[in-house]
Amino acid sequence: MTVNNLITCVFLLFFLNVHSKEQYVILEWKFKGIEEGYDHLNRSKISVDGKEMPVSKSFHQSEWGTYQLKLSKKEHKIRLVNEAYYNGKWAEHTFENQFSINAICEFELNAREVSKVQIEFNLDGGNVSIIRFDTNGIELIRKKAAFKGRHYPMKIDWSFIHVEEGYDHLSRMLVFVDDIEYGISPQSQESKGGGFSVKIPKGSHRIRIVNQSFVNGVWQDHTIINNYSVEAIYEKSLEIRKSIHVTLIIDLNDEHTVNTWEFKKI
């Protein structure tokens, strides 16, 4: 093969990759805080936008498990359910099956900008960390976008009921606009509730409100995956053309939240 032919082939492969409508995304997962003698074989069941994929190969929990997805270059919802091989059979790694953590996670990714996602299940702290990497292999940290045009205030008031004695954690609310962090509330005890306002850009946006608790020196999303009784994440797609008031009443006993979204003058 001549040098010119080689250059042509390389250019053609680069062109096809750049203009392809699909992108390979690697999922990696492992466990930390593993007790000696309990480094089980594990595998993951993965679904993309509700469609189940073939089950992964098996790996030891102490090593990175891997799974390659071929995705169209758009936003996707990924669900991963981990299974452990214990007592001669596969079982979902959940509290219900007598494991110390619910090794299940759901997240969104844009295959146009994400090439790899790393998931780490902490058997000590019971939390799950998810890190996305861009197409250059650099950790993807989404920064606040400079939304132009008019903004409208969004006021969020929240309260917790049935807070158990000894579990009155510090809490705060995070607001995301189209997956971009847009505001963080002041901290307050769960028993006192809280409220704050943030300005939201005009137009069609997906608004997500995430409650976090401060436990063992770390802020954690108040979710079932992180061993809380309530999934304290609230999300809506809205056409923002006026002020909005959001009221959240989070019942820690009934594992339910009354959430009200009202367009009104603030």
Domain parsing of the chain, residue ranges: 21-134, 151-263
Q: What was the pLDDT predicted at 65?
A: 96
Q: What was the pLDDT predicted at 62?
A: 95
pTM reported for the whole predicted model: 0.52
- Domain 21-134 fold: Immunoglobulin-like (2.60.40)
Q: What was the pLDDT predicted at 2?
A: 57
Q: What was the pLDDT predicted at 93?
A: 93
For the chain, which ranges sit under pLDDT 50? 9-16, 18
Domain 151-263: which CATH number of 2.60.40.650, 3.10.20.740, 3.40.50.620, 2.60.40.4150: 2.60.40.4150
Q: What was the pLDDT predicted at 13?
A: 46
**Are 21-134 and 151-263 in the same CATH fold?**
yes
Q: What was the pLDDT predicted at 265?
A: 63
Q: Where are the alpha helices (DSSP H) in the chain?
A: 3-19
Structure-token pair, residue 117: 């996602």
Q: What was the pLDDT predicted at 128?
A: 79
Interior/surface letters 68-89, b for 16+ CB within 10 angstroms, e for the rest: ebebeeeebebbbbbbbebeee
